[in-house]
Amino acid sequence: MNQTPAQTALNKALIRWSLSRATLIAETPTSWVYRVEQNGRNPAVLKQLKPEAGDEEQRGTALLAWYGGEGAATVFDSLGGVVFMEWLDGPTLGEAARSGRDGEATIALAGVVRTLHGAREADPPPLLPLRQWYRALFEMPASRWPTMSKDLLARAVGVAHKLFDKPAASLPLHGDLRHDNIISSPRGWLAIDPKGLVGDPVYEVASSFLNPIDAPKLVTDPRRVVRLADLYEARLGYNRKRVLGYAATHAALSACWDMGAGKSITLQLNMLPLLLAAYDQA
């Protein structure tokens, strides 16, 4: 039976890296993820990009390799759209937060940010500027936004312009450092699935205000918003107002993405007033 190009690429990867027992464990819109074995014993991961995978996956893979295993899963090699990676099977920070350890999870997330943003000798790969990442927010027609919440969109756009108009440091950014993208390992907490951005490092903690998933009561607690902002200021030295500004604008940006995908934006609409109020008070 003739193999598809994807099957051929997978088989070539298995032969090249002397791997066996490829078991599909996840499928996303842009990739297939396989658990494989090295030398018949040690597990590893093969992430195979689908033909329709865009630049985002390529950027993310390149950035993950650039991290060199510091604060992130190690990329051993890649070939023809197949990435050979470290196996991580520990619990995520999302599991910790959902089980009542949100404070510990936030401290751990800040530690991952500090490690990912550490200096490295090699130049980073080409990455997407953060302002371009916000394109969906800046281009969202007000007519498409829920009628009773149009003021939230306008406010978020205004705050975003203020953030980008004020000079700031620029670093390679994971871009999606949410709780369930950080996994426990013998080497500590490690990030997976970066988006591959470059810009203000403060943006790195923005998505944590909307996460973990499946914990709406925790996430929408106004006291948690304050706790997270306080902790990132204390642990990372980030300006508190910029932290809250990015949290609010990211919530609006996330809503724009979900609207485009036909998904619910209830969480974002619940969070935006809380985040904007905290921003105003900072």
Which residues on adjacent β-strands are paired with residue 84?
46, 77
Q: Quick check: do 5-86 and 93-281 share a fold?
A: no
Q: What local confidence, expressed as pLDDT, does residue 228 receive?
A: 98
Q: What local confidence, expressed as pLDDT, does residue 2 receive?
A: 63
Q: What local confidence, expressed as pLDDT, does residue 1 receive?
A: 53
Q: 153-189 pLDDT, tens per residue?
A: 999 999 999 999 998 899 999 999 999 999 999 999 9
Q: 119-143 pLDDT, tens per residue?
A: 999 999 999 999 999 999 999 998 9
Q: What are the catalytic residues?
A: 176
Q: What local confidence, expressed as pLDDT, does residue 42 receive?
A: 85
Q: What local confidence, expressed as pLDDT, does residue 38 receive?
A: 85
The structural domains of the chain, with segments of one domain joined by +, span 5-86, 93-281
Spans in the chain with pLDDT lower than 50: none
Q: What local confidence, expressed as pLDDT, does residue 161 receive?
A: 97
CATH architecture of the domain 93-281 equals Alpha-Beta Complex (3.90)
Is-above-0.75 flag for pTM? yes
In this structure, which CATH number among 3.20.20.80, 3.30.200.20, 3.40.50.970, 3.40.640.10 belongs to the domain 5-86? 3.30.200.20
